[in-house]
């Protein structure tokens, strides 16, 4: 869909580097999401656009284009990234709507769709680096789509180092600053499954981000599995949450 003139609507999300709003195309009336940041602080958003614009998958949120415009009382310039709108919100929102946890068939369906999205990203040489419920969106058809590639890195680019992601979803090798490849996304998927099963983080007793990084990096612990999950579900989690990425 080509975005020409458009009108900004209500804010639907805020992150550390950008704000997400609803928007409407003036010519067609189509609704989409726009993620914006001040132009001088938009390097992460521009990088996300470059990665997303090369991707085409039903399991990854689509990039619809971008522009640079002024808005607000300051009249400053903003970088605007146009994205497919997911009316049901994030997977974390969906968990809340279902009373704080999902049943195992739903967890299995969402996990399968996340894995299909991750497999596609890896086929394109991209690691997500921040898999979690907030970064998975649910479309009007109920299917999950991976979103927010602000932390993503190219597998072949060794110069794209640095700690990326959310501490309580980080894999041990990431928390130690060693590497961040596809195995780290699989660990984060395991933490996301625990989020779907409990409505909370994989490390509920660790509130401080620095403490979380230290525990993930240097303790022998793995997150606790929900007791009500089936044997098959626990076996799958045990395969995701292996401390050795190899």
| Within-domain flag for 1 | no
Instruction: Give the pLDDT score at 88.
Output: 93
Domains identified in the chain, total number: 2
39 and 72, same domain (yes or no): yes
Q: Are residues 163 and 215 in the same domain?
A: yes
At residue 74 the predicted structure's pLDDT band, cuts being 50, 70 and 90, is low
Residues 168, 207 share a domain: yes
Which of 31, 58, 83 delimits the end of a domain?
Answer: 83
String of b and e for 196-228 (b: at least 16 CB within 10 Å)? bbbbebbbeebeeeeebbebbbeeeebbebbee
Higher pLDDT, 162 or 56: 56
12-40 residue pLDDT tens: 988 778 999 999 999 888 999 999 999 99
CATH no. for residue 79? 3.30.200.20
- Does residue 97 share a domain with residue 17? no
Q: pLDDT tens digit string along 104-144? A: 999 999 999 999 999 999 999 999 999 999 999 999 899 99
Q: Are residues 116 and 228 in the same domain?
A: yes
In the predicted model, is pLDDT for residue 1 greater than 60?
A: no
Give 165 or 110, the one with higher predicted confidence: 110
Residue 230 lies in a domain: yes
Please check the confidence at residue 161 and state whether its pLDDT lies above 80.
Answer: no
Domain-ending residue, one of 83, 109, 137: 83
Residue 49 shares a structural domain with residue 124: no
173/243 Cα distance (integer angstroms): 8
* Mean pLDDT, residues 176-198: 96
Note if 130 is an active site residue.
yes
Q: Give percent above pLDDT 90 in the chain.
A: 83
Q: Where in the sequence is the domain holding 27, given as residue range(s)?
A: 6-83
Q: Per the annotation, does 246 bind a ligand? A: no
Residues 128 and 50 in one domain: no
Nearest Cα residue to 221 out of 197, 246, 187, 189: 187
Task: Please pick, among 130, 185, 208, 221, the residue that the annotation labels catalytic.
Answer: 130
148 and 65 housed in the same domain:
no
């Amino acid at each position: 869909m080509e975005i020409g003139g458009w009108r900004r609507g209500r804010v639907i999300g805020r992150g550390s580097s950008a704000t997400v709003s609803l928007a409407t195309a003036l010519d067609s009336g189509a609704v989409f999401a726009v993620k914006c940041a001040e132009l001088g602080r938009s390097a992460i958003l521009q990088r996300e656009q470059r990665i997303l614009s090369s991707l085409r998958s039903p399991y990854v949120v689509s990039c619809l284009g971008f522009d640079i415009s002024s808005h607000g009382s300051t009249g400053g310039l903003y970088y605007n990234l146009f994205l497919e709108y997911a009316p049901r919100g994030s997977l974390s929102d969906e968990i809340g709507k279902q009373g704080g946890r999902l049943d195992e068939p739903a967890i299995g369906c969402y996990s399968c769709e996340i894995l299909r999205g991750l497999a596609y990203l890896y086929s394109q040489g991209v690691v997500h680096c921040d898999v979690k419920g907030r970064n998975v969106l649910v479309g009007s058809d109920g299917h999950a789509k991976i979103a927010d590639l602000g932390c993503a890195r190219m597998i072949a680019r060794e110069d794209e180092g640095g700690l990326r992601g959310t501490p309580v979803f980080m894999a041990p090798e990431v928390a130690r600053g060693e590497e961040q490849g596809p195995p780290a996304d699989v660990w984060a998927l395991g933490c996301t499954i625990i989020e779907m099963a409990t409505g909370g983080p994989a490390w509920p007793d660790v509130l401080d981000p620095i403490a979380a990084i230290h525990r993930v990096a240097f303790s022998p612990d793995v997150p606790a599995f929900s007791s009500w999950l089936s044997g098959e579900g626990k076996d799958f989690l045990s395969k995701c949450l292996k401390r050795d990425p190899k």
